[in-house]
Structure 1
């Protein structure tokens, strides 16, 4: 054996991969991923709020358009809407 180390390439890869992951976790580099997730959540909330406001405005405009349409259909020279 003469001090030779017998190892399988898959085991070497696994050890190297795990050491790299541990070093990244200790360095705080993974905080960037958490920051990205926070931005996605914030963006989703903003999009939802914009959607709700757009739906409310759409309903208000539709109601106003319906009133104008009804007024035009029943228009008479002697009365006003």
Structure 2
């Protein structure tokens, strides 16, 4: 039986057909390890996001403390510009 998609001769369509055939072949082969790999990546990503969040919170706290010290210094400065 002739393939109706062969009458369309465009590189994008050829790529799409080839890509979809490969995906269908992979799905039919029972290759299930990819799902486990995806779950591992999600877990790793979640851990990295949590670490970044903790580091961001620590930096934010340090910046806030530094800004409070500068504000206190400005409020209590002498006429000559030194902090009390």
Name the TM-score, length of structure 1 as normaliser: 0.63
1:77 CA displacement: 1.8
Deviations 1:22-64 (A, max 9, x none): x72xxxx010000000000000000000000000000000000
In our comparison, the structure showing a higher alpha carbon Rg is 1
Name the TM-score, length of structure 2 as normaliser: 0.61
Runs of 5+ in structure 1 lacking a partner? 1-22
Match of 1:59 in 2: 61
Match of 1:36 in 2: 38
The 5-angstrom pairing of residues 1-81 of structure 1 reads 24=30, 29-78=31-80, 80-81=82-83
Runs of 5+ in structure 2 lacking a partner? 1-28
| Inter-partner Cα distance in structure 2 for 1:77 and 1:38 | 61
